[in-house]
Amino acid sequence: MDRMKVTTSDLQLAMTQVKPSAMREVAIDVPKVCWSDVGGMEDVKLKLKQAVEWPLKHAEAFARLAVTPPKGVLLYGPPGCSKTMIAKALANESKLNFIAIKGPELLSKYVGESERAVREVFRKARAVAPSIVFFDEIDALAVERSSSSRSSGVADRVLAQLLTEMDGIEQLKDVTVLAATNRPDMIDKEKDPQAGIKLQAAY
């Protein structure tokens, strides 16, 4: 035991194999989908790497060049055009902490629970940064404000909470939001378009 030494290389190797304890509750089994499995859409794949992977993996270079990366990316297109598959490939290839959320699962019938669920997602994402938060079917959460009277304002409050987490007082550092939808017309349009980018996935 006296001769045993732990070097920097040992710690770096361990960091690549040990997941943060905060990921236990949100850990998902990421399929082994690679960029090569996604046919075509080279422009979309390149822009995703530039907007999501590079800012998180090379944060010091972006800071040195004073480049502000987008806070989020919206993938939109008709059903079956590989939006979710692209997200799986990004999760596998980036080797970053990946939190996947199905949009409707955050909604609750109890007052305040939906907003709390959104806050909890971003709290965990910050705790395990650098990370990617993927919202599938984002149109269920970010519906246009005052578009439905039967929701009793729940949809508006959830959207307000989502926007606050992305662009509020507390900075969203080393966390990128990725969302997918096949109904971009249902999403609220009052958000500053410079905060993120939209990529269209097509057949």
Tell me the C-alpha distance between 120 and 158, whole Å.
Answer: 13
Tell me the C-alpha distance between 164 and 168, whole Å.
Answer: 4
**CA-based nearest residue to 75, from 183, 186, 191, 149:** 183
> CB-based burial of residue 22 (10 Å sphere; 0-12 exposed, 13-18 middle, 19+ buried)?
middle
Residue 84 lies in a domain: yes
Residue 63 lies in a domain: yes
How far is the CA of 129 from the CAs of 20, 42, 57, 121, 160, in angstroms? 10, 27, 11, 12, 23
**Given a cut of 80, is residue 53 above it in pLDDT?**
yes
Residue 15 lies in a domain: no
Residue 14 lies in a domain: no
Residue 173 lies in a domain: yes
Name residue, tokens 């959207």: 159
What pLDDT, in 10s, does the model give residues 121-171?
Answer: 888 888 887 888 888 888 878 777 765 554 567 777 888 888 888 877 777
Tell me the C-alpha distance between 176 and 98, whole Å.
Answer: 10
Strand order in the sheet with 131-136: 97-102, 131-136, 175-181, 72-76, 196-200
The pLDDT score that the predictor gives to residue 27 is: 54
Tell me the C-alpha distance between 72 and 175, whole Å.
Answer: 9
**CA-based nearest residue to 90, from 54, 122, 52, 127:** 52
Residue 70 lies in a domain: yes
Tell me the C-alpha distance between 8 and 57, whole Å.
Answer: 20
Structural domain that includes position 46? 21-200
Residue 193's pLDDT band (boundaries 50, 70, 90)?
Answer: very low
Residue 75 sits in a domain of what CATH number? 3.40.50.300
Domain total for the chain?
Answer: 1
Across the chain, mean pLDDT equals 77
What pLDDT, in 10s, does the model give residues 93-123?
Answer: 887 788 888 877 787 778 788 888 888 888 8
**Given a cut of 70, is residue 201 above it in pLDDT?**
no
Residue 2 lies in a domain: no
The pLDDT score that the predictor gives to residue 203 is: 43
Which residue has better confidence, 148 or 32? Answer: 32
Phi/psi at 48 (nearest 5 deg)? Answer: -65, -45
Which residue has better confidence, 166 or 19? Answer: 166
Query: Collapsing DSSP states into helix, strand and coil, what is residue 196?
Result: strand
Residue 4 lies in a domain: no
Name residue, tokens 């194999």: 17
Tell me the C-alpha distance between 149 and 188, whole Å.
Answer: 15
Q: What are the beta bridge partners of residue 136?
A: 102, 180
Residue 184's pLDDT band (boundaries 50, 70, 90)?
Answer: confident
Which residue has better confidence, 25 or 166? Answer: 166
* Count of CB atoms situated within 10 Å of the CB of 99: 22
